[in-house]
């Protein structure tokens, strides 16, 4: 009948989908009266931040999917750790708005970019904690040793922390780094696929 | 094929997930021009209220999950009681915004905190009514006597009512009490798990 | 494996859940500076309209659920009619905001209430069209003649149209009528259940 | 038990449903003080743009549904292409707001309509890329050759690109073209159904 993990998936998928879709609310309609094309062009950080955050949430969702596939059931600790992860994911529409607003204004956007990265770092920590707990709970995991190693998801923490610190140099640099990270995460498994066949990474 | 309770789960999960994710909308991007870090720090009640409400909605969702697992089917009365519960849950983004706005302003935040607690009390009443009805309807419940006792969910009512009254003394005290309650609810089953094994609380 | 109607349910449940949860956005946090309790009390139409609309969306969802249970598959016409229905449901957060804003202002709230009722009438028309099409398509319906009659859902059209017209006399009267209608729809099947047993209306 | 494509459906359905429901937020409640009926009438572009975008998102959802039905599993490339598609879908609430705001203002609405069409063109490109990739990956597709041809979904690209360019002549013309396109897409399969029977297009 129903997998024991189906409702945690339903709730999590809901939060991921709503958080991704709410990102659009930070894109502003230029006030009537100015030249519309020029005004739209001036808001490029809103579109860039939208794309980066949407892609990032999508990648977290894919990885979350991959973790839950390896679980045969969940306990309260895992539900709690999952809630902490979702709490950081649902913050992303705010940090995206913060980042794009300050990039548009060209003022203290380095601070805004560092805050953006700090939330991503927190998200990585929550993600690693979730997976580290699951792999050590042999009655939760479907097939011990079959899932991705802890290292795979832990690499995000130092990388996002470093990007967050570096973005204090320049907010635009921060945006570029977050975009590159999202693309790396999205495309790295594709490269891997080329080497090892498609069967195992669906 | 499909469980008779699957669509009530889908609708409820949707409301829980959307309500939790909408909480982020009350977090405001500081106006450009001030010192950004200082401005962000001054908005700490928004982050605190976000975390408390997100965790609380998550816990209600976990408990809701636990109740529905014990039902083999639903009737119109149960659907109606569930709607009343969801109506209080979907109010939480409003009460969270109210609480954080008045805490930031440092004005009448005790009244705002009491209103926050009043809605939580109403939510507890709705939750208890839902469960009390279900356990007395033998054709709805999967295995009479197997689910959690009515007492377990009823304890929330007097506790939230008391916290709501006490928060009239101070809005910050209210926030702390709601945070402690959320953590207690989240962690209590973990302690229980330590005693009785993981099998029964997944 | 998967019911042919499962994805139309998923999309519809999503729209119902999001529309119901978005209703909270029309409830406003009173500006800091006035007496908070008095200000909150003055906004009673926002809470009343929230409750009426939430309950109404919930009831439409229950009835929608009941219709889809009788379908074994869907065709493009049914998907199209369902989209029209969802389009009216997703308008309710707007009409609710309109109604409560004008009731709070005490100005032309009769017009706002009539518009609210007009959208509800449109929703009833869409709902009846959906069911009327389904019952006449013998390859869609699971068990011809087993579902509710067309009349059952069609009664909403003249009733909402009349309430919409009558609310031109007074916006508050309109709000009361819509509340009574929602409660009647919610509780009528309960009375029916008392007569005919629980088995058939779950 | 669970189809390999079920979680990509859940996430996608969530984004479709939330994007469609968020469209209502661009419909504005007229400020109190003016004649309400006249003010509501003046906002007709908001209702028209709402209906066109809601219908369009609904049609994309139906077609997306149809594609996923032909897949037996997904790989990372397909997940990535799906994310790009969803990213364009979730932009529609913004372009809808842009279009209706500038149509109401009667100023540069041709530019706004062209931007609206440009995003629709981008969405068509993403949709075609998704399907083109899937049909060429024989281990993903359930039954090679059984699904719709690539041409079927590719026709949207030049059509939306042309409509986008033509709308530079007039924003209202653009709105009419987008409405006609949505209706054509919604009703074309109905005509087809009349010819070929209902069995294959559910």
Residues lower than pLDDT 70 in chain A: 1-4, 144-153, 189-202
What length is written for chain B?
202
pLDDT at D198: 39
Q: Would you state the structure tokens that stand for residue B80, as one six-digit string?
A: 């109606």
Residue D86, class by beta-carbon neighbours within 10 Å (0-12 exposed, 13-18 middle, 19+ buried)?
buried
pLDDT at D152: 64
Smallest Cβ–Cβ distance between D14 and the set C14, C90, C97 belongs to: C14
Are the C-beta atoms of B137 and B75 separated by less than 8 Å?
Answer: yes
Q: What is the tens place of the pLDDT at every residue in B15-36?
A: 999 999 999 999 999 999 999 9
Touching B (3+ Cβ pairs <8 A), the chains are: A, C
pLDDT at B149: 63
| Cβ of residue B71 closer than 8 Å to a chain A Cβ | no
Touching D (3+ Cβ pairs <8 A), the chains are: A, C
Selected residue with higher pLDDT from C76 and D114: D114
| Cβ of residue B61 closer than 8 Å to a chain A Cβ | yes
D44 contact partners, CB below 8 Å, separation of at least 6: none
pLDDT at A198: 39
Where residue B144 falls among pLDDT bands split at 50, 70, 90? low
Where residue B148 falls among pLDDT bands split at 50, 70, 90? low
Residue A199 neighbours by CB distance under 10 Å: 10
Are the C-beta atoms of C14 and B14 separated by less than 8 Å?
Answer: yes
Q: What percent of chain B is predicted at pLDDT more than 90?
A: 63
pLDDT higher than 70, residue C146: no
Subunit contact A75:B193, Cβ cutoff 8 A: yes
pLDDT at B155: 78
Smallest Cβ–Cβ distance between C21 and the set B74, B90, B105 belongs to: B90
* pTM for this prediction: 0.91
- Top residue of B8, B10, B118 to mutate, by most chain C CBs within 10 Å, is B10
Nearest to A13 by CA among B7, D130, B21, B68: B21
Subunit contact C107:D14, Cβ cutoff 8 A: no
Subunit contact A29:D97, Cβ cutoff 8 A: yes
Residue C198 DSSP class: S
From chain C, the residues in CB contact with B49 under 8 A are: none
pLDDT higher than 50, residue B48: yes
CA distance C183 to chain D (A): 25
Closest chain B residue by Cα to residue A88: B51
Where residue C197 falls among pLDDT bands split at 50, 70, 90? very low
Where residue C153 falls among pLDDT bands split at 50, 70, 90? low
pLDDT higher than 80, residue B150: no
Smallest Cβ–Cβ distance between B76 and the set C22, C54, C193 belongs to: C193
Q: Would you state the structure tokens that stand for residue B116, as one six-digit string?
A: 């926050």
CA distances from D10 to B18, D4, D14, D16, D69 (A): 14, 11, 6, 10, 13
**Mean pLDDT score of chain C, rounded to an integer?**
87
Are the C-beta atoms of D113 and D175 separated by less than 8 Å?
Answer: yes
| Cβ of residue B148 closer than 8 Å to a chain A Cβ | no
Subunit contact D14:C19, Cβ cutoff 8 A: no
Residues lower than pLDDT 50 in chain D: 1-3, 190-202
pLDDT higher than 50, residue C109: yes
pLDDT at B140: 80
Subunit contact B87:C51, Cβ cutoff 8 A: yes
From chain A, the residues in CB contact with D14 under 8 A are: 13-14, 16-18, 21
pLDDT higher than 60, residue B182: yes
Which run of H or of E encompasses C5? none
C184 contact partners, CB below 8 Å, separation of at least 6: none
pLDDT higher than 50, residue C158: yes
Q: How far is the C-alpha of A95 from the C-alpha of A10, rounded, in Å?
A: 25
Selected residue with higher pLDDT from B196 and D146: D146
D72 contact partners, CB below 8 Å, separation of at least 6: D4, D5, D140, D141, D142
Where residue B194 falls among pLDDT bands split at 50, 70, 90? very low
pLDDT higher than 70, residue C195: no
Closest chain B residue by Cα to residue C52: B87
pLDDT at D75: 84
Q: What percent of chain B is predicted at pLDDT more than 70?
A: 86
- Top residue of B16, B32, B39 to mutate, by most chain A CBs within 10 Å, is B32
- Tell me the average pLDDT across B111-130: 96
Subunit contact C15:D21, Cβ cutoff 8 A: yes
CA distance C34 to chain B (A): 10
Residue B116 neighbours by CB distance under 10 Å: 32
């Amino acid at each position: 009948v129903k997998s024991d993990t189906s409702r945690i998936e339903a709730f999590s998928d809901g939060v991921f989908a709503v958080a991704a879709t709410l990102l659009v609310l930070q894109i502003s309609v230029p006030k009537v009266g100015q030249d519309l094309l020029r005004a739209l062009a001036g808001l490029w950080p809103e579109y860039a931040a939208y794309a980066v955050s949407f892609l990032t949430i999508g990648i977290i969702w894919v990885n979350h999917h991959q973790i839950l596939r390896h679980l045969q059931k969940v306990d309260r600790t895992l539900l709690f750790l999952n809630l902490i992860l979702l709490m950081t994911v649902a913050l992303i529409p705010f940090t995206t708005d913060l980042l794009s607003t300050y990039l548009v204004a060209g003022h203290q956007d380095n601070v805004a970019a560092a805050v953006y990265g700090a939330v991503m770092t927190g998200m990585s920590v929550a993600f690693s904690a979730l997976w580290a707990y699951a792999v050590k709970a042999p009655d939760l995991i479907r097939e011990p040793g079959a899932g991705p190693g802890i290292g795979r998801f832990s690499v995000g923490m130092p990388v996002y922390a470093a990007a967050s610190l570096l973005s204090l140099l320049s907010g635009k640099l921060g945006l570029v780094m977050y975009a590159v990270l999202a693309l790396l995460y999205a495309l790295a498994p594709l490269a891997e696929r080329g080497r090892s066949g498609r069967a195992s990474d669906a």
